[in-house]
Amino acid sequence: MARFVVKSYSPRGALEERIVSGDTAAHIHRDFSERGFRVVSLRPAKAGWRWIYREMPTFFRVSTSELVLFSRQLATFLRVGVPITDAIKLLQEGTKSGPFKAALDDINDDLDGGESFSAAVAHHPNVFNQLYVDMIRAAEYSGNLDTVLVQIANYLQRQDSAIKKLRSAMIYPAVILTLAVSVCVVLVVVVLPNFVKLFNEFGANLPLPTRVLIAVGGFTQQWRIEIVAVIAILVLVAFFFFQSRPGRIFWDYAILKLPVLGSIGIRKNPVDFPGLQ
């Protein structure tokens, strides 16, 4: 039995993508239709090592510089009259990013299947964000896709430059904070428990903060493996949560409520959007 990638709208209206096995594409299409699904695209599942990019897109990111270069080059191809499918094939061969190659391969298949460019890129939210998709959709209606692609490239380049400046400014405070936390952890977990016997021999009446620190150090030494395991689980849960839509909404809301970063974010977006020109 062959394997096929099926993109369809469920009876509830949700867009779904899944890999199914069947004798023929016609048989799978009929089976989905009988179950109330509206099939958008149906193509053979691709073999090879690129399946890992399609199945686990969360772990593979496409850099902003790749998107900027792709948008500018695609705009140039369209401006000189090259068909969009041929242009994407040429750009796919030129990119060195494995995840981006896999995404462009799927986009080309969707275009060959009759989907619009905006619908094709919308299937890859980890590569093309919602702003990118919406601007492409608006450009398709207005008929100036090449111009909008250049505007998107300019916006992404400005945004990437601002993010890099912010990161470089945050490196020094982050290093200092990391060193401070590391020193505190070493003192509480390693150094302070070594003084417990000395304190007991002298029968010293220790103040409450010192007794609390000694108790914390003893607890971490006794349960260190369990504590590391719990921290690792919490990090994984937080990672997957913030990759989801509710997690991203929660993160954005929390950032906007911070004293300094929130005001920067509120002022940043109104400045960015008028610059799309």
CATH of the domain at 93: 1.20.81.30
Q: Which amino acid is at 113?
A: G
Same domain, 32 and 164: no
155-210, pLDDT tens digit by residue? 888 888 888 887 888 888 889 999 998 888 888 777 777 777 777 777 667 788 87
123 and 257 both lie in a single domain: no
How many domains, the chain? 3
d(CA 152, CA 158): 10
Integer Cα distance of 235 and 241 in angstroms: 10
For tokens 């109330």, the residue is 36
Regarding predicted confidence, which is higher, 146 or 26? 146
Question: Is residue 102 a part of any domain in this protein?
Answer: yes
Tens-digit pLDDT profile for residues 4-44? 778 788 888 777 777 788 777 778 888 888 888 888 777 76
Contacts of 37 (CB under 8 A, 6+ apart): 8, 9, 10, 11, 16
Q: What is the Cα–Cα distance from 242 to 253, expressed in whole angstroms?
A: 12
69's tokens: 């270069």
Amino acid at residue number 120: A
User: 249 and 166: one domain?
Assistant: no
The strand pair at 2-9 and 15-22 is best described as: antiparallel
Residues 59 and 171 in one domain: yes
**pLDDT the model gives residue 52:** 60
212 domain-assigned: no
Residues 98 and 26 in one domain: no
Q: Are residues 149 and 247 in the same domain?
A: no
Q: Give the residue from 271, 242, 244, 236 showing the smallest Cα distance to 254.
A: 242
Q: Are residues 29 and 150 in the same domain?
A: no
Final residue of a structural domain among 203, 236, 269: 203
Same domain, 33 and 109: no
Question: What confidence category does residue 1 fall into, taking pLDDT thresholds of 50, 70 and 90?
Answer: low
**Which helix (H) or strand (E) is 6 found in, with range?**
strand 2-9
- Is it the case that residue 93 has pLDDT exceeding 80? yes
Both 41 and 90 in a single domain? no
**DSSP secondary structure letters along 74-118:** HHHHHHTT--HHHHHHHHHHH---HHHHHHHHHHHHHHHTT--HH
Query: Where is the domain boundary, 146, 172, 203?
Result: 203
Does position 120 have pLDDT exceeding 80, yes or no?
yes
* Contact in structure between 24 and 44 (CB atoms under 8 Å): no
Poorest-pLDDT segment among 65-69, 104-108, 228-232, 262-266: 262-266
Distance CA(142)–CA(242), nearest Å, equals: 35
Q: Are residues 40 and 55 in the same domain?
A: no
For residue 63, give the nearest of 127, 158, 125 by alpha carbon.
127
Q: Spell out the residues 6+ positions from residue 10 whose beta carbon is closer than 8 angstroms to its own.
A: 16, 36, 37
In a domain, 261, yes or no: yes
Where b means 16+ CB within 10 Å and e means fewer, 256-274 reads eeeeeeeeeeeeeeeeeee
- Please tell me whether residues 65 and 20 are part of one structural domain: no
The more confidently predicted of residues 235 and 125 is 235
More confident residue, 215 or 266: 215
Domain of 277 in residue numbering reads as 223-277
| Structural domain ending residue among the three candidates 203, 235, 269 | 203
- What is the C-alpha separation between 159 and 166, in angstroms, rounded? 11
Question: What is the arithmetic mean of pLDDT over 48-66?
Answer: 66
More confident residue, 172 or 270: 172
* Radius of gyration for the chain, computed over Cα atoms and rounded to the nearest angstrom: 27
Average pLDDT, the chain: 81
Lowest-pLDDT range of 61-75, 177-191, 260-274: 260-274
Does 217 fall in a domain? no
Mean pLDDT of 74-93: 91
Using an 8 Å Cβ cutoff, are 28 and 22 in contact? yes
Q: Region 91-102: what's the mean pLDDT?
A: 85
Same domain, yes or no, for 275 and 228? yes
